[in-house]
Structure formats: C-alpha cells, structure tokens
Amino acid sequence: MRSPPQRSVDELVAWLCPAIARACQLEPTAVTAESRVVELGLDSLSLVSVLTLIEAEHGFELTPKEMLILLEAADVRALACALSTMIEARRRSDVSG
C-alpha cells in the first residue's frame, strides 16, 4: 500500500470540513475547524461515510482503535490532529520498514 500523503493539520481541516458537510447534508460553510462533531448531526452512517473517505483519500485502512480515536474527536480540528498523527505514524512505519 502506498505511503499516505503528508498533510498539515490545516490542510486536513480544509479537506475534512467539506467532507463532513457532505456527509451531514450541510452547506460547506456550515462546518469549520471549531465545529463540534456531536453538534453537526453525524449519525453512524455519516460517520462511516467520513471514515471511508479518509481511508480512500489517505491510502490506508484504519484500524478499529484508530477509528475509535477519530470518532471521539471533540471538534474538526481535533479530528484533523488525530488523523495527522496517524498519517505521520504510517509514514514513519513505511520508511523504517
């Protein structure tokens, strides 16, 4: 599997906001970095949709533990930070072997 692309937290926020908005059937501008995930109306189907998009966009399959970490994010920026950490761990793992 290919190494995930390196992205800053701000780049991930910029990618996640419209992806979450689509999943929640909201206007793209309705979701910001500070949007509280629980207040966006994400149901389980929407959450799975966003997780699937994350996997496809970043080229790796999330482990159950990683999914739980992402699902527990309080806001979009926290989600982006957690995802950034996962991507960096995958990149380090790919480099080391």
Look at residue 3 and tell me if it is in a domain. no
Say which range, 38-42, 66-70, 92-96, has the weakest mean pLDDT. Answer: 92-96
CA distance 11 to 63: 22
CB 20 within 8 A of CB 31: yes
Higher pLDDT, 62 or 34: 34
Q: Give a yes or no: residue 4 inside a domain.
A: no
Q: What is the pTM of this model?
A: 0.85
Going by C-alpha positions, the residue among 54, 52, 45 that lies closest to residue 76 is: 54
Distance (Å, whole) CA 67 – CA 51: 7
Assess if residue 1 is contained within a domain. no
In the chain, the number of structural domains is 1
Identify the band that residue 5 occupies on the pLDDT scale cut at 50, 70 and 90.
low
- Residue 44 belongs to domain spanning: 9-96
Name the nearest CA neighbour of 26 among 55, 46, 10, 54: 46
What is the spatial distance between Cα 42 and Cα 53, in angstroms, rounded to a whole number?
Answer: 15
Residue 2 lies in a domain: no
